Structures are given as structure tokens and as C-alpha cells.
């Protein structure tokens, strides 16, 4: 389970540029970043996995907090999370393969969302491992293309406000 920093930023190309620019400039070794919209259309949430063995998460956080476009940084550390990844997988599917693919999809609680003359698009949602596994099973039919959201995550069970508000409250 990675150590996550949940970073709420202004929803703009410029803000993204500033965050990525900083991470690159400081050579901060972070994992693959996913980007989510939130309850506020003005905000974007970046989920940045950090390996504490390689870099002090506090240092990444302190650097990010220098940016004016960063509204809040939350260190999710070891907190219990709901994590979901989603993939759209286009597989080569002559009609004789449909049944087998549909059965496989059902096994993963995936759905077939497009039926083309030679391909199907399978939508699969779940933990990163489940999505990986589903894609691996689909490989033998011939995967044409994959798009993937990357993990989205949320802390389990707390009824407090979202990170941006929480930090604003703490500051007040």
C-alpha cells in the first residue's frame, strides 16, 4: 500500500504545470500521480504516492505547500482508504469470442460498454490489482488499447470536511 499525499490544487492547466514543474525541479521521487475532480469544480485532487524509504513525505509536502495554487496537502500515510482504479479495455473480439469475454467480464464484475464489428470495450473497476488481473486475462484475446484512470482514493469512514476545508478550518 503506497504512502499517499492528497494534494488539492486549483483546477487549471497552470496549477498542474506548477505542481509537476516543482516535483521535477526538486527531483522528488514520487510514484505515478493520478488526478481526480472533486465536489468543487474549482478544485483538482492529485494523489501522489511517495515511498518514505526514498524521500521524506514531509519534505514533498513542505515543498508543495510553497505553491500558491496548492490549497491543501494531506498526508494520508497509513490511513484506511477506499481505492478504485478504472480501465477501458478494447479487445479484439470476433463474434465467436463474445460469450467467453462476457463470462470473464462477469467474473470481474466488469461490463461490456461497446460492441464494434471486430472489437469489444470492457469497463472494469476496482482495486489496481483486480484491474491488472482482468487486463491480464483479456490479453489472450488481443488487447488493442487501454485507457486507465489511475487510482482514485478516499479516506474511509470520517465525516469531516474535505481536505481544503479542513486546512482552512485549522488555519482559522
Partner 1 sequence: MDAATMAQTQVAPRTIRRERRRMKTAWAVMEALVREGVEVIFGVPGGASLPLYDALYDYPQIRHVLVRHEQCAIHMAEGYARATGKPGVCFTTSGPGATNLVTGLTDAMMDSTPLVAITGQVPTFFMGGDAFQEADVIGVTMSITKHNWLVRTPAQAPEAVHMAFRLATDGRPGPTLVDLPRDVLLAEADFILEDPEAFRPSRPRPPFPNERALRQAADLIAQSQRPILYVGGGVIHSGAAPEIRALAEKARIPVATTLMGLGAFPEDHPYALKMLGMHGTVYANFAINFSDLIIAVGARFDDRVTGKLSAFAPHAKVIHIDIDPAEINKNRRADVALIGDAKSILRALLPLVRPPDTEAWWRQIEDWRARYPLRYRQGEDVIKPQFAIQMIYELTKDYRPIVTLDVGQHQMWAAQFFTWTEPRTCITSGGLGTMGFGLPAAVGAQFGRPDRLVININGDGSFQMTFQALITAVEWQLPIKVFIINNQYLGMVRQWQELFYNRRYSAVYLANPDFARMAEAVGAAGIRVERPDQVEPAVRQALAITDRPVVVDIHVDPEENCFPMIPSGMTVFDTMIAPGVKAVP
CB of 85 to partner 1, least distance (A): 30
Question: What's the closest the beta carbon of residue 30 comes to partner 1, in angstroms?
Answer: 15
Smaller CB distance to partner 1: residue 6 or 93? 6
Residue in the structure block whose three cell numbers are 463474445: 98
Residue 154 C-beta: closest distance to partner 1, Å: 21
What's the rounded Cα separation, in Å, for the pair 103 and 99? Answer: 6
Instruction: Tell me whether residue 70 or residue 134 sits nearer to partner 1 (CB atom).
Output: 70
Write down the least CB distance from residue 57 to partner 1, Å. Answer: 11
Q: Which is nearer to partner 1, 45 or 90 (CB)?
A: 45
Which run of H or E residues covers position 24? helix 13-25
Other C-beta atoms lying within 10 Å of the C-beta of residue 153: 20
Task: Give every CB contact of residue 78 below 8 A, 6+ residues apart in sequence.
Answer: 1, 3
Q: Which is nearer to partner 1, 27 or 156 (CB)?
A: 27
CA–CA dist 149, 85 (Å, integer): 6
Least separation in angstroms between CB 23 and partner 1: 11
Cβ proximity to partner 1, 42 vs 127, nearer residue: 42
Q: Which residues in this chain contact partner 1 in the complex, by CB under 8 A? A: 14, 17-18, 21-22, 25, 56, 58-59, 62-63, 65-68, 72-73, 167, 170-171
Helices assigned H by DSSP within 8-52: 13-25
Question: 62 φ, ψ to 5°?
Answer: -60, -35
Give the Cα separation of 103 and 138 in Å (integer): 11
Amino acid at each position: 500500500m503506497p504512502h499517499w499525499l492528497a494534494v488539492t490544487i486549483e483546477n487549471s492547466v497552470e496549477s498542474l504545470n506548477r505542481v509537476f514543474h516543482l516535483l521535477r525541479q526538486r527531483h522528488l521521487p514520487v510514484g505515478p500521480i493520478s488526478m481526480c475532480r472533486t465536489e468543487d469544480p474549482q478544485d483538482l485532487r492529485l494523489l501522489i504516492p511517495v515511498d518514505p524509504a526514498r524521500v521524506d513525505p514531509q519534505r514533498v509536502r513542505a515543498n508543495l505547500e510553497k505553491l500558491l495554487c496548492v490549497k491543501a496537502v494531506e498526508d494520508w500515510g497509513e490511513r484506511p482508504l477506499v481505492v478504485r482504479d478504472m480501465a477501458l479495455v478494447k479487445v479484439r473480439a470476433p463474434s465467436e469470442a463474445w460469450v467467453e469475454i462476457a463470462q470473464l467480464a462477469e467474473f470481474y464484475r466488469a461490463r461490456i460498454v461497446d460492441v464494434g464489428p471486430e472489437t469489444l470495450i470492457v469497463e472494469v473497476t476496482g482495486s489496481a490489482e483486480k484491474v491488472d488481473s482482468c487486463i491480464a486475462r483479456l490479453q489472450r484475446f488481443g488487447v488493442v488499447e487501454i485507457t486507465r484512470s489511475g487510482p482514485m482514493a478516499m479516506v474511509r469512514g470520517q465525516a469531516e470536511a474535505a481536505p481544503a476545508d479542513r486546512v482552512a478550518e485549522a488555519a482559522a
